[in-house]
Amino acid sequence: MSAPVFERVALIGLGLIASSMAHAMRRAGLAGEITGHARSAETRAVAREIGLVDRVCETAAEAAEGADLVVLCVPVGAMGAVAEEIAPVLAPGATVSDVGSVKKAVIEAVAPHIPEGVHFIPAHPLAGTEHSGPRSGFAELFDNRWCLIVPVENSDADATARLSRLWEGMGAHVDVMDAEHHDLVLAVTSHTPHLIAYTMVGVADDLRRVTDSEVIKYSAAGFRDFTRIAASDPTMWRDVFLTNKEATLEILGRFTEELFALQRAIRTGDGDHLHDYFTRTRAIRRGIIEAGQDTAAPDFGRGATRGEGRD
Ligand SMILES: NC(=O)c1ccc[n+]([C@@H]2O[C@H](COP(=O)([O-])OP(=O)(O)OC[C@H]3O[C@@H](n4cnc5c(N)ncnc54)[C@H](O)[C@@H]3O)[C@@H](O)[C@H]2O)c1
Ligand SMILES: O=C(O)C(=O)C[C@]1(C(=O)O)C=C[C@@H](O)C=C1
């Protein structure tokens, strides 16, 4: 058990990421006290029932008051309003961070509300599941995953190091990245793949009407993986695409070009093109495994029903 890195941590939004943070902080004794707030009364009631944090508060400001770390764990589109609400109670020397999947838009929405003397250090843990809500979290979520810290202009070095210690204590490896680069990298590795999965499952759903449920009945592993991703929270992903528009459209444009090239190769019977392409992509998968990055998604059946106890 380590000494607490922060005396009081406030988690605003009590879904998958916040609940996993609460479990991971408790596992390693990283916080003296954890307070929490979620917008819906139902979520707050569930959080109280399962003892998720030490104190569930009725407002975000109440949870943030007296905290030396406040972490915004709400959908990206809600970050600015929450920052505005907690701003009056933030004490000088406190740190505000977030876990949003997009960084440039979050910084633009949150930074203007951060008072003088309060540190703002955005972050993004690259770990998740398709589940949501306060029951879906688990202490191991961040183990051996990356957490990207995205310092803003004049971010305090000591405060950044302290936040890094917290994430390392929760099991993550920490790297530092600037916001624009973060958003482009994530558009490639996370955002566009989610859009493709949503699309593929939508296509299959249309087809299902034609084939009378054969698509579901005979769905093989590849498609099942798509359905897991496409079961992810609609609010979260709507906000991701609306706020990482530029980078996602850039990657989607490239994706479409390559898809057309493959489509043409199939139509013209260009086996060499297909074989070369698949050889290249196979090498990427092998590279990921050799680098030890293939941390298989953990057990998702942790009593969480998607949408349960959340607004
Ligand atoms: N799910 C993932 O895979 C994943 C991974 C990394 C980062 N993230 C990011 O983490 C953040 C939270 O995602 P999650 O998966 O934990 O979501 P979630 O849907 O499980 O939880 C979101 C929580 O925020 C609360 N909430 C929504 N609007 C609010 C508001 N205005 N004020 C207070 N509470 C509000 C909801 O009640 C809910 O408890 C998002 O910004 C997301 O982009 C998600
Ligand atoms: O494993 C999953 O369910 C995820 O989609 C997690 C995932 C990802 O794309 O890797 C999703 C969004 C994040 O911001 C970070 C992680």
Domain coordinates of the chain in residue numbers? Answer: 6-177, 181-290
**Ligand 2 lining (C-beta closer than 6 Å):** 101, 126-130, 190, 297
Q: Which of 183, 190, 189, 195 is nearest to 246 (CA)?
A: 183
Q: Which stretches of the chain are assigned E, i.e. beta strand?
A: 6-12, 31-37, 55-56, 69-72, 95-98, 119-120, 123-125, 146-149, 173-176
Task: Count CB-CB contacts under 10 A for residue 5.
Answer: 23
Task: Count CB-CB contacts under 10 A for residue 65.
Answer: 18
User: Architecture of 6-177 per CATH?
Assistant: 3-Layer(aba) Sandwich (3.40)
Distance CA 99, CA 56 (A): 20
pLDDT at 209: 65
Nearest residue by C-alpha to atom 9 in ligand 1: 100
pLDDT at 299: 34
**Ligand 1 lining (C-beta closer than 6 Å):** 12-18, 38-40, 43, 60, 73-76, 78, 81-82, 99-101, 125, 128, 132-133, 233, 236, 310-311
Distance CA 237, CA 194 (A): 8
Token pair, residue 79, equals 């970050």
Q: Which CATH superfamily is domain 181-290 in?
A: 6-phosphogluconate dehydrogenase C-terminal like domain (1.10.3660.10)
ipTM over 0.90 threshold: yes
Confidence class for position 88, pLDDT limits 50, 70, 90: very high
Mean residue pLDDT of the chain comes to 91
